[in-house]
Amino acid sequence: MTEQLTFDELGTPLRETTFVVFDLETTGGRAGEDAITEIGAVKVRGGRVLGEFATLVDPERGIPPQVTALTGITQVMVTGAPRLATVLPAFLEFAAGAVLVAHNSGFDVGFIKAACERLGYPWRRPTVVCTVRLARRVLTRDEAPSCRLSALAALFGVAEQPNHRALTDARATVEVLHHLLERVGSVGVHSLEELVAYLPEVTAEQRRKRSLAAHLPSVPGVYLFRGPSEEVLYVGTASDLRRRVRQYFTASEGRKRLREMVALAVRVDAVECAHPLEAEVRELRLISAHRPAYNRRSKNPGGAWWLVLTDEAFPRLSVVRAPRAGALGPFRSRRLAEAAAETLQDAVPLRACAQRIPARKPSGTPCALYELGRCKAPCAGLQSAADYAPAADAFRRLVAGVDTAPLDALAAQLDALAQAHRFEDAAARRDRVSALVRALDRAQRLAALAALPELVAARPDGSGGWEFAVVRHGRLASAGVARRGVPPMPVVESLVAGAETVVPGEGPLLGAPAEEVGVVLRWLERPGTRLVRCDTPWASPAGGAGSWRGWVARADAGRDQYRDAGH
């Protein structure tokens, strides 16, 4: 007797699958180097349009004439448009939980992934359907000698003809997708899982190992691929463990590195979690503990860079990996930390030389910064330690959120550049100051969270219940849920009673890993999160960089006076 498939094994019917069909216009074809100028997206399910997303994007660079000729997007059109730092989170929210669809998806998804990496947003590995690949699988060469979007639109007689504008092309791709799904339905493809498996380029090894996901539950959690010697090969997180792991055995997993990992894997273990925040934190901790060969991120929790004052009579700014209290950071790269130091030195006369200067009778030679008026040459004995101390104190007060005088000085320098009609210099300086303010603001928000002995917060789970997190000194100490109809406060009391004890340590985050504090902070700052309990006031410093967020927003939107005057 043949065993009947369960509903879970049948997969998600295509008519119940939410697709976000999107298209990008860019300044060129290289995701790591060129920039996005327009995003258009259409959310559909069961043939119905659920919503649309469309915006021009300031690429922060010139648009090549040949690109303007192709798309019709001019420099004037993107002047004053929001920057990608503003647009990207809105697009990710619009597309959250949906299957991404694009025509030649490698191009569009590549730009979005590169943007996520550059701006610090995690890439959630959504299922991706490429209509080019699907068309090549479904249509014969006689039917479709070319799989260009315009050719497929003509073949199917779609109402919205593509014109190299993002929303129009996304609408055309929606119609093409629906026609292609009708074709695959005639060959027995009726679920999302069947559609992904139907696409080409699934290796025999991937198909053979699909059974590794059979025992996994459909709950949030962390999965661990293990090799023949029980070694952890790869760690990942999922809102649905079974569905996510099954994707590794389909055509949607095109990364050569992870296909190699699948070939080595002999088992998949799972850690069930109360909700996605717990899963993301446990993923970070497991990657740090096991350092899996096939994970690229988070393997070194001490890998961030920090900006500190050296401990000497004439302290200077130094970029380090092991911070102490009063450090500015974390920065994702040494280059970003050094750029912040250079910007600060435009406003705070700290020495830039690396030589050690004795407190008494220094006898060095003044450097070029002295000639430029940016250093008072303590190395040559032209400035005493007492006279030098206010510069070091200015950095400490800025980082602590006591005083933003250095930022005021930098803003005054911008005014001077604009008044001198040096608009390009002003724009470059504005971007450097904006990056510094962001770093300061984030550092102060992280430090404020790490200082709290205990905080309890809740978020709606989307089904009438609540997700809870107990946070102690920036670390997730306990997590749980109260399902719909369950009294929430007894659940909270139980979670608090059983929460991990966190002993504060040293450094700006009191020993908490910066990446974990950042994950928890993002969850807490999302709209809809509510504070249940916080015995100690949680606030950013009154004199901190948070007061400059409006300035940064204007800079990001390209609406500040320096940019407008320059154009």
pLDDT tens, position by position, 240-286 = 999 889 888 876 666 788 888 998 999 999 999 999 999 999 999 99
Instruction: Using CB atoms within 10 Å of the CB of residue 560, give its burial: 0 to 12 exposed, 13 to 18 middle, 19+ buried.
Output: buried
Is 248 a member of any domain?
yes
Assess contact for 80 and 58: CB atoms under 8 A.
yes
Please tell me the least confidently modeled range out of 392-406, 421-435, 464-478. Answer: 421-435
Catalytic, 164? Answer: yes
Are 186 and 208 part of one and the same domain? no
Are 104 and 231 part of one and the same domain? no
Which one of 149, 169, 198 terminates a domain? Answer: 198
Are 56 and 171 part of one and the same domain? yes
Torsional class of 462: left (φ above 0), alpha (ψ -120 to 50), beta (otherwise): left
Distance of alpha carbon 347 from alpha carbon 430, whole angstroms: 13
Are 226 and 130 part of one and the same domain? no
Are 500 and 522 part of one and the same domain? yes
**How many residues can be counted in the chain?**
567
**491 to 301, 448, 458, 495, 520: CA distances (angstroms):** 31, 26, 11, 6, 20
**503 to 301, 473, 480, 500, 508: CA distances (angstroms):** 18, 8, 22, 10, 14
Are 40 and 94 part of one and the same domain? yes
Are 367 and 467 part of one and the same domain? no
Domain that holds residue 112: 7-198
Sign, CA torsion 274/276/279/280: negative
- pLDDT range class, residue 194, cuts 50, 70, 90: confident
Which one of 400, 428, 460 terminates a domain? Answer: 400
Q: What is the pLDDT of residues 200-253, one digit of tens each?
A: 656 667 778 888 998 999 999 999 999 999 999 999 999 899 988 988 887 666
Instruction: Using CB atoms within 10 Å of the CB of residue 102, give its burial: 0 to 12 exposed, 13 to 18 middle, 19+ buried.
Output: buried
Residues 6+ positions from 403 with CB-CB distance below 8 Å = 394, 397, 543
Catalytic residue from among 164, 178, 190, 290: 164
Q: What's the mean pLDDT in 47-67?
A: 94
Residues 6+ positions from 78 with CB-CB distance below 8 Å = 37, 56, 57, 58, 59, 63
Please tell me the least confidently modeled range out of 34-43, 178-187, 246-255, 273-282. Answer: 246-255
Is 31 a member of any domain?
yes
Q: What confidence score (pLDDT) does residue 559 get?
A: 44
Is 417 a member of any domain?
no
User: What's the whole-model pTM score?
Assistant: 0.70
Assess contact for 126 and 41: CB atoms under 8 A.
no
**For the chain, what is the mean pLDDT?**
89
- pLDDT range class, residue 352, cuts 50, 70, 90: confident
Is 222 a member of any domain?
yes
Q: Which of 529, 516, 471 is nearest to 280 (CA)?
A: 516
Is 429 a member of any domain?
no
Are 176 and 89 part of one and the same domain? yes
Residues 6+ positions from 377 with CB-CB distance below 8 Å = 364, 366, 367, 370, 383
Are 190 and 235 part of one and the same domain? no
Is 425 a member of any domain?
no
Is 160 a member of any domain?
yes
CATH of the domain at 210: 3.40.1440.10
Q: What confidence score (pLDDT) does residue 369 get?
A: 73
Is 436 a member of any domain?
no
Q: What confidence score (pLDDT) does residue 427 get?
A: 86
Are 72 and 187 part of one and the same domain? yes
Instruction: Using CB atoms within 10 Å of the CB of residue 399, give its burial: 0 to 12 exposed, 13 to 18 middle, 19+ buried.
Output: buried
Whether 498 shows a pLDDT value over 80: the answer reads yes
Distance of alpha carbon 240 from alpha carbon 481, whole angstroms: 16
Q: Where are the beta strands (DSSP E) in 14-138?
A: 18-26, 36-45, 48-56, 99-102, 128-130
Q: What's the mean pLDDT in 291-299?
A: 84
- pLDDT range class, residue 446, cuts 50, 70, 90: very high
Q: What's the mean pLDDT in 523-529?
A: 94
Please tell me the least confidently modeled range out of 174-183, 390-399, 475-484, 554-563. Answer: 554-563
Q: What confidence score (pLDDT) does residue 371 get?
A: 65
In the chain, the number of structural domains is 4
Q: What is the pLDDT of residues 81-128, one digit of tens each?
A: 999 999 999 999 999 999 999 999 999 999 999 999 888 888 888 999
Are 368 and 456 part of one and the same domain? no
Which one of 265, 290, 315 terminates a domain? Answer: 290
Are 232 and 168 part of one and the same domain? no
